[in-house]
Amino acid sequence: MKKNAISKALNSAKAKQAKAKENEKYVDSLLAVPAKDTTNVLAVQADNGNVADSASGALDVPQLPTPEELGISITTGYSGDTLQVAKGDTIDFPITVSWKANGGSILVLPTSSANTKDLSQVGLSQESSRIVKDGQEIAQITFNYKLVVKDDGVSAIPAMRFEIPTPMGQSLYLRSDPVVYEAKDKSESFLTVLGIVFVLFWVVVKVLRIRQRKKAKALLAKWNGALVAIRERMMVLKQRVNVADSREWLLELESVCKGFVALRFGIAEARAATINLDNLVKDGKLEGWEHLVEEFAHARYGGGVRDSFENKETWKLAMQLMDMEEE
């Protein structure tokens, strides 16, 4: 009993293997090019298991396998998100049919066009190639459609159909997937671009204004701080006008005035001592400073001593020229 069960199991396994090999040979035969015919078509060979004599003596036509069973696939050049185009654009739309070469080739015929109310097919070309993928040779035929977008809005490139004829009069049929696209009017696109440019320009102007304001505030703060320091020095001179040496007091006042002029003309504070007030007065850059500069020259070149009242009047003139108030 045990031996009979084992024997039956072995016979069943052998029968399944034989059937699988027979089916594999049949599928491979569909891609074989007949030796007596050089036409590039699928050759379907008779299978004894599928052919039987009928009452009239005719042969039954074997059932063709599907393209998927034969390893024939079809892909488009676009997938994923909606294709973005503009009205009037020309779309290059490739569709590729591929299969395992197995030393043979097939004939693929396009049987439909891409013409719709929104699209116009203006060209079609094809090219063949072979690649090696995962150690297997893959044959390809790529159909390159040239399509012109006639209208705006959301539409789709239609499913394209292809026929693969066989010598038995039967054909295999392939169908690509439709591809959704969105077409925008070029004037609308131009307005959109113009709007974006305007917004970007406005943002840049806003940023520049903010920077200028910050810079102006910083300069104003620096200016005010420098003026405060100058005013403090002037108030110290006022307190010393009655006790300080007249010549030294005037030269100190000149130093303070040079610091103010450096601030006014944007000269570095470190270079304030090198400023020549006489030349600036002669060039007309310091209007009203003539008497003040004369007092400084008087002290610099060893002139007579000024009394405290005269020095105080000079101090008041300097405060006025620097637009400062005593209180």
- Sign of the CA dihedral with 32 first, then 37, 43, and 48 last: negative
Q: What span, in angstroms and rounded, lies between the C-alpha atoms of 272 and 260?
A: 9
Q: Tell me the two tokens of residue 124.
A: 């079609």
Asked whether residue 112 is domain-assigned, the answer is yes
Secondary structure (H, E, C), 37-71: CCCCCCCCCCCCCCCCECCCCCECCCCCCCCCCCC
The chain-wide mean pLDDT, for the chain, equals 79
| 63 to 39, 69, 74, 195, 221: CA distances (angstroms) | 22, 12, 22, 62, 93
Give residue 47's pLDDT: 44
pLDDT in tens, 219-266: 778 778 888 888 899 999 999 988 888 889 999 999 999 999 988 888
Confidence band, pLDDT 50/70/90 cuts, at residue 38: very low
Local structure of 256: helix, strand or coil: helix
pTM (whole model) above 0.85:
no
Other C-beta atoms lying within 10 Å of the C-beta of residue 321: 17
- Are 156 and 200 found together in one domain? no
SS3 content of the chain, % helix, strand, coil (to 5): 45, 20, 35
Q: What span, in angstroms and rounded, lies between the C-alpha atoms of 181 and 94?
A: 15
Domain end marker among 149, 184, 219: 184
- Sign of the CA dihedral with 186 first, then 192, 194, and 200 last: negative
- Are 155 and 244 found together in one domain? no
- Are 236 and 304 found together in one domain? yes
Confidence band, pLDDT 50/70/90 cuts, at residue 34: very low
- Are 144 and 238 found together in one domain? no
Asked whether residue 31 is domain-assigned, the answer is no
Asked whether residue 54 is domain-assigned, the answer is no
Q: In the β-sheet with 171-175, what is the strand arrangement from edge to edge?
A: 109-110, 161-165, 171-175
Count of domains in the chain?
2
Give residue 125's pLDDT: 93
- Are 98 and 179 found together in one domain? yes
Give residue 57's pLDDT: 42
Q: Tell me the two tokens of residue 178.
A: 């439709």
**264 Cβ contact list (under 8 Å, min separation 6):** none
Give residue 68's pLDDT: 84
pLDDT in tens, 303-319: 778 888 888 999 999 99
Tokens 């504070």, located at residue: 269
| 278 to 168, 265, 282, 286, 318: CA distances (angstroms) | 114, 15, 6, 9, 15
Domain end marker among 184, 218, 243: 184
- Are 171 and 236 found together in one domain? no
Confidence band, pLDDT 50/70/90 cuts, at residue 192: confident
Domain end marker among 184, 203, 220: 184
Asked whether residue 296 is domain-assigned, the answer is yes
Residue 213, pLDDT > 50, answer: yes
Q: In this predicted structure, which of 148-157, 217-226, 263-272 has the lowest mean pLDDT?
A: 217-226
Confidence band, pLDDT 50/70/90 cuts, at residue 23: very low
CATH of the domain at 88: 2.60.40.740
Domain boundaries, position 228: 194-321
Give residue 190's pLDDT: 67
